[in-house]
A and B are shown apart, each in its own frame.
Chain A
Amino acid sequence: MAGMVEKRGAGYWMTHLGLIIGLLFIFFPIWLAFVASTVSQPEIVKPPMPLLPGDQFFENYRKALFSGINAPVALMMLNSLVMALGIAFGKIVISLLSAFAIVYFKFPGRRLFFWLIFLTLMLPVEVRIVPTYQVVANFGMLNSYSGLILPLIASATATFLFRQFFMTVPDELAEAARVDGARPMRFFWDILLPMSRTNIAALFVILFIYGWNQYLWPLLITTDPSMNTIVMGIKQMFPSGDDIADWPVIMATSILAMIPPVIVVISMQKLFIRGLVDSEK
Chain B
Amino acid sequence: MEKRVTFKGIWLPLLLVLPQLVITAVFFFYPAGQAVYQSLFIPDPFGLSMQWVGLGNFEYLLGNAYYRASFVTTAVFSVAVTVVSMGVALYLAVLADRLIKGSGVYRTLLIWPYAVAPAVAGVLWLFMFNTRVGVVTWYLGVLGYDWNHVLNGEEAMGLVVVASAWGRISYNFLFFLAGLQAIPRSVIEAAAIDGARFWTRFRTIVWPLLSPTTFFLLVVNIVYAFFETFGVIHTITGGGPQQATTILVYKVFSDGFVGQDLGSSAAQSVILLVIVGALTILQFKYIERRVHY
User: Which A positions have Cβ atoms within 8 angstroms of B?
Assistant: 1-6, 11, 15-16, 18-19, 22-23, 25-27, 29-30, 32-33, 36, 44-45, 47-49, 51, 93-95, 97-98, 100-108, 110, 113, 116-117, 120-124, 126-136, 150-151, 153-156, 159, 167, 171, 174-175, 178, 184-185, 187, 209, 212-216, 219-220, 231-232, 234-235, 244, 247, 250-251, 254, 257-258, 261-262, 264-266, 269, 272-273, 276-277, 280-281
B272 touches A134 (CB 8 A): no
A1 touches B100 (CB 8 A): yes
With A and B bound together, what is the CA distance between A215 and B234 in angstroms? 10
Is B171 an interface position by the 8 A CB rule? Answer: yes
A117 touches B35 (CB 8 A): no
Residue of B nearest to A212 (CB): B117
Q: A131-B38, A150-B27, A265-B115 are in contact. Are A97 and B16 (CB under 8 A)?
A: yes
16 extra interchain contacts, Cβ-Cβ under 8 A, other than A4-B192, A277-B178?
A2-B99, A11-B98, A22-B92, A30-B116, A47-B134, A130-B35, A130-B256, A154-B23, A175-B5, A209-B115, A215-B234, A231-B120, A235-B234, A235-B235, A272-B111, A276-B171
A262 touches B115 (CB 8 A): yes
B188 touches A36 (CB 8 A): no
B124 touches A33 (CB 8 A): yes
Q: Which of B19-37 contact A (CB under 8 A)?
A: 19-21, 23-24, 26-32, 34-35
8 A-B pairs, CB-CB below 8 angstroms?
Answer: A26-B169, A29-B128, A97-B19, A105-B12, A124-B276, A127-B252, A171-B5, A232-B119
Residue picked from A116, A156, A264, most chain B C-beta under 10 Å: A116
A23 touches B230 (CB 8 A): no
Residue of A nearest to B141 (CB): A47
Q: Which of B225-269 contact A (CB under 8 A)?
A: 227-228, 230-231, 234-235, 249, 252-253, 256-257, 262, 265-266, 269
B100 touches A2 (CB 8 A): yes
Residue picked from B112, B280, B287, most chain A C-beta under 10 Å: B112
B108 touches A266 (CB 8 A): yes
Q: B residues within 8 A CB of A30?
A: 112-113, 116, 124
A29 touches B166 (CB 8 A): yes
Q: Which of B21-60 contact A (CB under 8 A)?
A: 21, 23-24, 26-32, 34-35, 38
Can you list the 5 inter-chain pairs with the closest CB atoms, starting with the nearest? A213-B117, A131-B34, A261-B115, A131-B31, A105-B13
* Nearest-Cβ distance from residue B286 to partner chain A, whole angstroms: 12
Q: A128-B32, A130-B252, A135-B30 are in contact. Are A215 and B16 (CB under 8 A)?
A: no
Q: A residues within 8 A CB of B35?
A: 127-128, 130-131
B5 touches A105 (CB 8 A): no
Pick the residue among A1, A154, A184, A247 that contacts B12 (CB under 8 A).
A184
Q: A residues within 8 A CB of B5?
A: 171, 174-175, 178
Pick the residue among A3, A27, A151, A264 that contacts B27 (CB under 8 A).
A151
B7 touches A105 (CB 8 A): yes
With A and B bound together, what is the CA distance between A44 and B34 in angstroms? 48
Q: A residues within 8 A CB of B62?
A: none
B273 touches A22 (CB 8 A): no
* Nearest-Cβ distance from residue B173 to partner chain A, whole angstroms: 9
Pick the residue among B1, B29, B257, B277 that contacts A130 (CB under 8 A).
B257
Pick the residue among B9, B31, B188 that contacts A135 (CB under 8 A).
B31
Q: Is the interface of A mostly helix, strand, loop or mixed?
A: helix
Q: A122-B277, A171-B5, A235-B234 are in contact. Are A269 and B108 (CB under 8 A)?
A: yes
A22 touches B110 (CB 8 A): yes
Q: B residues within 8 A CB of A6?
A: 98, 198
B220 touches A105 (CB 8 A): no
Contact with A along B170-213 (1 / 0, CB 8 A): 11001100100000010011001000001000000000000000
Q: A127-B276, A174-B5, A281-B287 are in contact. Are A23 and B17 (CB under 8 A)?
A: no
Q: A29-B128, A174-B3 are in contact. Are A128 and B269 (CB under 8 A)?
A: yes
With A and B bound together, what is the CA distance between A123 and B175 in angstroms? 24
Q: A residues within 8 A CB of B147?
A: none
A132 touches B127 (CB 8 A): no
Residue of B nearest to A265 (CB): B115
Q: B residues within 8 A CB of A102?
A: 13, 17
Q: A128-B269, A184-B7, A235-B119 are in contact. Are A135 and B26 (CB under 8 A)?
A: yes
* Nearest-Cβ distance from residue B202 to partner chain A, whole angstroms: 12
Is B66 an interface position by the 8 A CB rule? Answer: no
Q: A residues within 8 A CB of B124?
A: 29-30, 32-33, 254
Is B96 an interface position by the 8 A CB rule? Answer: yes
Q: A residues within 8 A CB of B125?
A: 29
